[in-house]
Structure 1
Amino acid sequence: MKNVLLVTSSLLGDNSTSTNLSNALLDKLSQSQEIKIQLRDLAETNLPHLTQVEMGAWATPAEERSQEQANLAAVSDGLIDELKQADAIIFAVPMYNFGIPSSLKAYFDRVARAGVTFKYTEQGSVGLLESKPVAVVCARGGFYQGTDADSQTPYLKSMLGFIGYNQLSFVFAEGLATPERDNGLAKAQEQIENLSKTLLA
């Protein structure tokens, strides 16, 4: 059985296109093999902006942490453990104001930890998480793929590669706020169909 972690970041719940497309990918995967799904809904997790206090908790040895520090460190530790336990990861990512949701940024701020998920060397940074298949399902109201206005894709490639994930696949559903919505969804469904055959292969 494969463990698949789904990280959603939309504010729209059941009405979210990025989440619904990611669930469609999960359905396709489950048709070919048995999978166990772990859901991390960042709208429900409600991570606050990262603070110096929380970063200080990470830097404090576990045996020296106060109860507050232990509680703060446990949040990051839990998110990182979810990544480590997964055989594959799916990120459902809507576009908000040309970027990723702030909830997803808060998530990455907690899973990118020096000495835990990456380290710096004389040759540059090195990701410490074991590489595994990662799918990113992006939903956009307009058309951004391959343009300078698409700040999501390079950021996500850099961020995920920074912690060790380089087996990346992207699904793009674009034009969702235009008359081309149906065409955009159809193209995304085709990408999902193709990806479902290779993601856990």
Structure 2
Amino acid sequence: MPGSLREKQRLAERERATIEKAIREALEAAHGVHNQLVADLERQLKEKQAEIDAGQRTLSNAELGIKAGHVYVVSNIGSFGEGVFKIGMTRRFEPLERIDELGGASVPFPFDVHMMIGCQNAPALENALHKALHHHRVNKVNLRKEYFRTDRVTIERLVERNHGRIEYQVSDDYAEQFFNSQKVTPEMEAEIEKSFEGIPDLEE
């Protein structure tokens, strides 16, 4: 969409230049006499300038809409241990849907959200955080892996420096499945196994 808007802007600016040239030629031909042709051309020039200004505002709003989104900070201590955070971004209207996807079948426990930051330029904030934490990357050769070994306070300070103060809220059920799994005793496992009795094995 911004590409087509830019093309319209370039076309409007070329038309404005053509009108300006026609005004100059009309003035020269009239030897400075302000005739009707010049008045008409000046009116067209004002209309074209208004069109260009409106197009620029539309283009700016469109580009802003593309960049708007949420930067999230999540962890998964059951999968990656303490002190490892994933910092990413999403443009989804419901940003938590992205977090649900991350906690799918590829990891044994769901992710916990530490920060969900709505901003007008999410890629810029995400990039600033990634740069500041570059030396803390878990995977130092694949920069598309957005995991960093650091602490939440450090990330908070970086967010405040690049975005401004926001509220941080960790859910009450932080790492609930992981901590509950740690509490399961051998006796409890035996009871769980009993629930499998009577369930037929899958046929090969």
**Higher RCO (CA-CA < 8 Å; seq separation 6+):** 1
Asked which structure has the greater CA Rg, the reply is: 2
Check whether TM > 0.5: no
TM category (shorter chain) comes to: under 0.3
Give the number of the structure whose residues are more often helix, by fraction: 2
Q: TM-score, normalised by structure 1?
A: 0.22
